[in-house]
Amino acid sequence: MEIIYTVLAVVACILLFSFAVFIHEFGHFVAAKLLGFKVEVFSIGFGPALWKKTYKGVEYRISAIPFGGYVALPQLDPEGTKAIENGNAKTKDGDSSEESDASPATPLRRIIVAFAGPFGNIVLAVALAFALAAVPGVRFGERPADVGGVAEDGPAAKGGMKAGDKVLSVNGRAVKSWTEMQTEVQIAGTSPATFVVKRGDEEKTLTITPLRDKTTEVCFILAFGSTNNLVKAAAWMPNRNPIKQLVWDAGQIARVLKALCTPRESKAAAKALGGPVLIAESLYRQVRRNGWDALGFLRFLNVNLAMLNLLPIPVLDGGLIFFALFELLTRRKPPKKLVDGLSIVFMWLFLALMIFLVFRDVGRSRRIHRAERDLDKLLQQEKDDAERAKNFRPAFELK
């Protein structure tokens, strides 16, 4: 049965992750069709086509790699291989045809089509937030940043933190929950961090230097939350109010992005960053743990996809919007060679980043699984030893 559960969980992860990316591309597709853009391909999945059919000039595909999909829009091609020039549209084989009046690809229309993808993710995130809030059985709540205890000789104890302290801020950033405090610890990395805690009626400032675990690469201070405030909800499910929940999602993502752009925080933040493998594993664990938590993670993932894609970086939707805004405000197109060059450079940078993150995630995952297996073996050995000791009978008894 365990094999069946594993297979079903993997399939569910693929479908959920694919749906998040699919809804993004579907947003581009709907906006492009409504505005009269030429749509060449709409694909569910990537890679070789397992099935394809052309209908009204659009080739619909189901492709071999089921992680999302893509829409081929000539007017939004960052490399300009199908750019509209002098009233003519170049096709893939080099022929040209007269541009349709219904598809002028004005800057404003390009902005709308580019924004429609992230907007699709936002719509799905909002729908999930309201749907989860309406289900009585879904667990919500956040664990206060109250310290229940500290490990002897651990970073927290060495820095002066004590049981009963309430953490108010880390490095000047206010924290309202244990999850937010942990986020700030990861961003601080192994550099000394300033903690402001409330102890009784007074506030104290402590300096604590986190340690980094070699197996998980997670930073910790060896402080433990209060057992009086245990919350069973997942870390990304702090609030049943859907609006407050979505604001929290956006705030957490914005905090990490800000850290990546802040010189003194960028190194530690980048080290804590996870890639596709970590996201897939996290989603898999939530599917196995609780279906509602998995949908909550999907909500958070959609907010993440929307915000990342709106960054003003070439090859992302935000880059397309930036170039279109430049043309809209200046009434002149940005230099084609510059746009093409930036698109190619960032395409390779993103590809290299993805490969690096995948390799790092795989290495970290292997270390964690190895450590978990060793721990399971140790616990089983202790259990067997205890069972043998319990059933031991001496060969003779002294009388």
> Where is 333: in which H helix or E strand?
none
In a domain, 379, yes or no: no
Q: How many residues does the chain have?
A: 399
DSSP string covering 51-74: EEEEETTEEEEEEEEEEEEEEE-G
Contacts of 64 (CB under 8 A, 6+ apart): 45, 46, 47, 48, 49, 50
**Catalytic residue chosen out of the listed positions 2, 25, 79, 152:** 25
Instruction: Please choose, from the candidates 107, 108, 91, 109, the residue with its C-alpha nearest in 3D space to the C-alpha of residue 99.
Output: 91
Residue 258 pLDDT greater than 90, yes or no: yes
Separation in Å, CA 209 to CA 91, 186, 251, 263: 59, 11, 25, 19
Whether 25 is catalytic: yes
Which of 36-45, 75-84, 345-354, 380-389 is predicted with the least confidence, judged by mean pLDDT?
75-84
pLDDT in tens, 172-216: 999 999 999 999 999 999 999 999 999 999 999 999 999 998 888
In a domain, 89, yes or no: no
Query: Looking at residue 221, which CATH number applies to its domain?
Result: 2.30.42.10
Domain count, the chain: 1
Give the predicted TM-score (pTM) of the model. Answer: 0.82
In a domain, 199, yes or no: yes
In a domain, 181, yes or no: yes
pLDDT score, position 178: 93
- Residue 148 contacts residue 225 (beta carbons within 8 Å): yes
In a domain, 16, yes or no: no
Q: What integer is the mean pLDDT of 340-355? A: 85
Residue 188 lies in domain: 145-230
In a domain, 245, yes or no: no
pLDDT in tens, 292-341: 999 999 999 999 999 999 999 988 899 999 999 999 999 898 888 888 88
Higher pLDDT, 264 or 374: 264
In a domain, 1, yes or no: no
Separation in Å, CA 376 to CA 218, 269, 380: 21, 31, 6
- Percentage of residues in the chain having pLDDT higher than 90: 44
In a domain, 161, yes or no: yes
